């Protein structure tokens, strides 16, 4: 039968769907004809920034990808070799715009989507982390977004049965309209059961497994995730998907049993652009085609037309290519788990995607024409150094007057939302389900998980990225983001091994924003090469801006570390009375981009803190050596709030109300107390190992200064603050809920 044609397809219609006039001409050239309405919608979705990475792919390809532990052969998530025949699957993605429009479902479906990316590899998810950014809490909208996002993350993860074990939360005005909601998930899989996201084998059946298809999320990729939010953003609620964690839990179990049964050839999550995306990408990777019968797709609404069926982003669905003849086995497994299962087509060897509806051909095109890095356009965008940088770098923050005494500054910083305890948030998450969590949230610099499949071994997980530093110096800020993620993993005794990243930026067509992006990718690549932590994949989220604000450039680094012996891991809190408190690393007086500068001067100015990659490598080597030899009982890096806040957090994290008597051998200036100089950690050392630690630091050329001793119940920094651990904890843990829960 002939293909359905629609006379309404015009360049104007293409532009309404987010394509440019030039891109429409490219489509005409690729097809050699005018597309019909369904095909145009497919191109609009697949060539969107969200799906095609058309502004970023050329730069992303400069990142280091290879490494000793990196496993290739999967497109859903990164994979690293754990030894013993197992692999770790991990990835981070954004759900920013959906969360701005509908925070509960936006965040919930972000968690659901990243979990599916993990179990489509054949891996069982074992942990989730998140990285969140909001505006200031004195705005009602910020409190609404915060509560909705946190509830969405918690409800989905808790119902699905995966622990949310770590994360970070920042508050800055630039995120008022566009919150940043990034979710990272991790899973474990036997290497002989890893499933590729590839279609192969002419005649192999193509199945849709999972939920029925509805109208939710249509053009979520092209019209929501790939455009700047405006005044009418609430009208975009229909573009936000609706999640069902209980359905996803059943889908997980069915999928893993299908994999175990050996009937799966390839599999991909139906995320952005739905059936269109998964059929196109799997076919293009395999160099094959597919014949898809849209009448066979189970629908929630029988009135859906082919355009809606192809582009729906309904959640909890997978596209699975089965081994021919295995259909009865697969269908029986899906019935057992009460999971929807429908044969919707088959793999073909002619290299064409064909979609039929009511007996008529409604779309026909080569899959590669739709796919990123192949048919989809790639651009080198104009880039220009932002004009604001020279002005901000001209200000010397350390020369500003100090408006408050150190004692007042200490207490106000300890209670500021970005620094204060996130217990109010993480207590809404089940972080101990599956009982593999070794270091609980708030007790260590990175989450630590035991691996039951590999007795004795463990992993450490961290997400990091201070966007103020990146705003002030995109290249150095990216170095710091990778360095801190690696440092946090090293602080628990794990070797940093690989990175996933989520790059959140404004409009890439703005040359200043694209310059920021280019510099961040350059910095991230240099840091990952220096630490031998290759990038396994991730996500780019552009257009995070509104008429009022563009977000700061916000790269979020997800770092994975390995522990050969999980029993050697340490937390951040003081552990034993009489231990020595030792600062390791260079003590620099730097206030640029600090929480102190923002809180007391209302400024994000100066330059980002200094970072010397070789110094950082030596510090991480110190941590791994000292922790494995059990020379230190705790370790915590100096981050937001600087040295004074780092010391307070070590007391708060103590399980036995242990504090410290501390004397700092530097001028008690704001820059020394609260500056956020990098490459510094505070460790607690048993007196018997003082010499060992000092000798190791000397060998590595690292400064090492004893600044006090661990004592019961009391916390004192001479000349700054004298209080109790109980008062510290009360102030630290109550600040955020008091701000977030007010009417």
Q: Which residues contact 281 (CB under 8 A, 6 or more apart)?
A: 75, 197, 268, 367, 371
Residue 741 DSSP label: S
703: nearest Cα among 718, 715, 692, 693: 693
The Cα 351–Cα 356 span in angstroms is: 16
Residue 227 DSSP label: S
Strand ranges for 192-302 from DSSP E: 205-210, 264-269, 289-293
Tokens of 704: 């090492």
Residues counted in the chain: 743
The Cα 462–Cα 559 span in angstroms is: 5
* Tokens 């924003």, located at residue: 513
The Cα 492–Cα 511 span in angstroms is: 40
Any idea what the Cα angle at residue 635 is, between residues 634 and 640, rounded to 5°? 135
Query: HEC string of 405-461?
Result: CHHHHHHHHHCCCCCCCCHHHHCCCCCCCCCCEEECCCCCCCEEEECCCCCCCEEEE
The Cα 90–Cα 536 span in angstroms is: 8
Per DSSP, what are the bridge partners of residue 561?
Answer: 460, 496
The Cα 627–Cα 654 span in angstroms is: 18
| CA dihedral sign of residues 230, 231, 234, 235 | negative
Tokens of 415: 């209670």
Residue 221 DSSP label: I
The Cα 20–Cα 620 span in angstroms is: 48
The Cα 590–Cα 613 span in angstroms is: 17
CB 161 within 8 A of CB 155: no
Per DSSP, what are the bridge partners of residue 353?
Answer: 290, 365
The Cα 184–Cα 538 span in angstroms is: 9
User: Counting Cβ atoms within 10 Å, is residue 532 exposed (0-12), middle (13-18) or buried (19+)?
Assistant: middle
N-to-C CA span, the chain: 62
User: Is 730 one of the annotated active-site residues of the chain?
Assistant: no
CB 353 within 8 A of CB 367: yes
User: Is 393 one of the annotated active-site residues of the chain?
Assistant: no
Decide the pairing of beta strands 317-322 and 447-450: unpaired
| CA dihedral sign of residues 20, 25, 26, 32 | positive
673: nearest Cα among 648, 646, 708, 643: 643
Tokens of 670: 């704001």
Cα radius of gyration rounded to whole Å, the chain = 26
The Cα 130–Cα 171 span in angstroms is: 15
156: nearest Cα among 97, 90, 109, 100: 109
Per DSSP, what are the bridge partners of residue 723?
Answer: 715
The Cα 207–Cα 204 span in angstroms is: 10
User: Counting Cβ atoms within 10 Å, is residue 141 exposed (0-12), middle (13-18) or buried (19+)?
Assistant: middle
Catalytic residue set: 50, 95
């Amino acid at each position: 039968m002939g293909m359905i044609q629609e006379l309404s397809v015009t360049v104007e219609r293409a532009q309404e769907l987010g394509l440019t006039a030039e891109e429409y001409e490219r489509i005409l050239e690729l097809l050699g004809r005018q597309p019909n309405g369904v095909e145009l919608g497919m191109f609009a979705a697949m060539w969107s920034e969200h799906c095609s990475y058309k502004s970023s792919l050329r730069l992303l390809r400069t990142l280091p990808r290879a490494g000793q532990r990196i496993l290739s052969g999967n497109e859903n998530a990164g994979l690293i070799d754990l030894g013993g025949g197992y692999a770790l699957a991990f990835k981070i993605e954004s759900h920013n715009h959906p969360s701005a429009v509908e925070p509960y479902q936006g965040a919930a479906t972000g968690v659901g989507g990243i979990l599916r990316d993990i179990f489509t590899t054949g891996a069982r998810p074992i942990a989730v982390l998140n990285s969140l950014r909001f505006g200031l809490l004195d705005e009602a909208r910020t409190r609404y977004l915060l509560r909705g996002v946190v509830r969405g993350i918690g409800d989905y993860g808790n119902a699905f049965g995966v622990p949310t074990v770590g994360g970070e939360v920042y508050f800055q005005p630039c995120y008022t309209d566009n919150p940043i909601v990034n979710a990272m998930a991790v899973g474990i899989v036997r290497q002989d059961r890893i499933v590729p996201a590839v279609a192969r084998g002419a005649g192999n059946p193509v199945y849709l497994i999972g939920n029925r298809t509805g109208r939710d999320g249509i053009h979520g990729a092209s019209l929501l995730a790939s455009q700047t939010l405006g005044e009418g953003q609430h009208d975009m609620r229909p573009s936000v998907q609706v999640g069902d964690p209980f359905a996803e839990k059943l889908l997980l179990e069915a999928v893993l049993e299908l994999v175990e049964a050996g009937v799966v050839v390839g599999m991909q999550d139906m995320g952005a652009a739905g059936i269109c995306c998964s059929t196109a990408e799997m076919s293009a990777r395999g160099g094959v085609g597919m014949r898809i019968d849209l009448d066979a797709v189970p629908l929630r609404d029988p009135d859906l037309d082919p355009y809606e069926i192809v582009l729906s982003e309904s959640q909890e669905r997978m596209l699975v290519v089965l081994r021919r003849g295995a259909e009865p086995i697969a269908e029986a497994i899906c019935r057992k788990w009460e999971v929807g299962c429908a044969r919707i087509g088959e793999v073909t060897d002619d290299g064409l995607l064909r979609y039929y509806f009511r007996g008529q051909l409604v779309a026909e095109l080569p899959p590669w024409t739709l796919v990123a890095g192949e048919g989809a356009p790639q651009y080198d965008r104009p880039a220009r150094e932002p004009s604001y940088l020279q002005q901000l770098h001209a200000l010397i923050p350390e020369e500003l007057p100090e408006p408050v005494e150190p004692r007042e500054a200490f207490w106000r910083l300890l209670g500021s939302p970005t620094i204060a305890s996130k217990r109010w948030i993480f207590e809404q998450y089940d972080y101990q389900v599956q009982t593999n969590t070794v270091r609980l949230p708030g007790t260590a610099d990175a989450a630590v998980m035991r691996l039951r499949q590999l007795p004795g071994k463990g992993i450490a997980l961290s997400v990091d990225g201070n966007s103020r530093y990146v705003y002030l110096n995109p290249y150095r800020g990216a170095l710091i983001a990778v360095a801190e993620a690696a440092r946090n993993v090293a602080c628990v005794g794990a070797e940093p091994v690989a990175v996933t990243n989520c790059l959140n930026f404004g409009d890439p067509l703005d040359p200043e924003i694209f310059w920021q992006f280019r510099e961040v990718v350059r910095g991230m690549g240099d840091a990952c090469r220096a630490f031998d932590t290759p990038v396994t994949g991730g996500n780019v989220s552009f257009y995070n801006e509104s008429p009022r604000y563009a977000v700061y450039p916000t790269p979020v680094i997800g770092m994975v570390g390995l522990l050969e012996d999980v029993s050697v891991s340490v937390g951040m809190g003081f552990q034993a009375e009489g231990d020595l408190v030792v600062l390791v690393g260079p003590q620099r007086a730097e206030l640029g981009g600090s929480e102190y500068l923002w809180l007391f001067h209302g400024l994000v100015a100066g330059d980002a803190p200094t970072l010397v990659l070789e110094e950082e490598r030596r510090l991480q080597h110190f941590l791994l050596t000292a922790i494995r030899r059990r020379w230190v009982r705790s370790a915590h890096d100096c981050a937001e709030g600087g040295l004074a806040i780092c010391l307070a957090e070590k007391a708060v994290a103590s399980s036995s109300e242990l504090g410290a008597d501390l004397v700092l051998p530097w001028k008690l200036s704001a820059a020394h107390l609260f500056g956020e100089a990098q490459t510094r950690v505070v460790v607690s050392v048993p007196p018997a190992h003082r010499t060992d630690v000092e000798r190791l630091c000397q060998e590595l050329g690292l400064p090492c200064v004893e600044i006090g001793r661990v004592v019961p119940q009391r916390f004192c920094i001479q000349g700054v603050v004298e209080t109790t651990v109980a008062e510290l904890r009360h102030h630290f843990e109550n600040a955020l809920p008091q701000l977030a829960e007010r009417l």
